[in-house]
Amino acid sequence: MIGVLWHASNEQEEAPYLGAFRQGLNDLGYVESKNFVLENRFAAERYERFKELAADLVRLNVDVLVAVTRPAALAAQGATTTIPVVFILVPDPVASKLVDSLARPGRNITGVSQIALDLISKRLQLLKETVTDLSSVAVLVNPNDPDDARRYSEEVRAAAASLNVAKGVVRAGHAHTGANLH
């Protein structure tokens, strides 16, 4: 049994990724309901729910716990020290204290780092080289993960300052809250 912590509200919202996950398992010769069962849990962008959802999957004694996003991975890490945890969409798992190092994660947790924070400066530099009259840039951050939003903002601020580019941060909101520029 594979437990998955998703950040969206339901299977439909996660369809492209859930479909790819299922297809990947099928490509490896696994057949759902025959070789594996997926136990999906959806936080509906309410990241505080990850703790209870991770605990629920641990109570089910899943064979592996897949955590999509850093907050989901932190909740999974806190919920079990024995069930293997695999994370995805985590910008810096070492700084988040999910793993000891990328080369040797340690404990029962591993995953894929998207190295997004490490690439901000280089991406902005390439953008400035491409758009030579670039004078300002905005970064879209997810307010549901304040730690990542802060770190992304700090990295963009430093990169923008080094390139003499003004920076703005847009915190994405839900449809009912809108977005606001800081």
Instruction: Specify whether the CB–CB gap between 5 and 79 falls below 8 A.
Output: no
Count of the separate structural domains present in the chain: 2
| Final residue belonging to a domain, choices 113, 137, 169 | 113
Answer yes or no: do 103 and 40 share one domain.
yes
Output the CA torsion 26→30→35→39 (10° steps).
Answer: -40
DSSP 8-state assignment for residue 41: E
pLDDT score, position 117: 75
Report the CATH number at residue 6: 3.40.50.2300
Q: Are residue 78 and residue 150 in the same domain, yes or no?
A: no
CB 117 within 8 A of CB 151: yes
- Judge residue 24's burial from the number of C-beta atoms within 10 Å of its C-beta, 0-12 exposed, 13-18 middle, 19 or more buried: exposed
pLDDT at residue 103 in the model: 85
Let me know whether 129 and 154 are in one domain: yes
Q: Note whether 95 and 152 are same-domain residues.
A: no
In this predicted structure, what is the pLDDT of residue 173?
60
User: Last residue of a domain, which of 60, 90, 113?
Assistant: 113
Domain limit, last residue, from 97, 113, 129: 113
- pLDDT mean by block of 10 residues, the chain; 182 residues: 96 94 95 95 95 98 96 97 95 88 90 80 89 86 80 84 80 47 40
My answer on whether 102 and 121 are in the same domain is no
Phi-psi region for residue 178, left (φ > 0), alpha (ψ -120 to 50) or beta?
left
- With beta carbons less than 8 A apart as the criterion, state whether 141 and 148 touch: yes
Provide the CA 42 distance to its chain's centre, in angstroms: 14
Domain carrying residue 140: 117-181
123 & 93 share domain: no
> What pTM value is reported for the model?
0.74
How many Å apart are CA 136 and CA 128, to the nearest integer?
A: 10
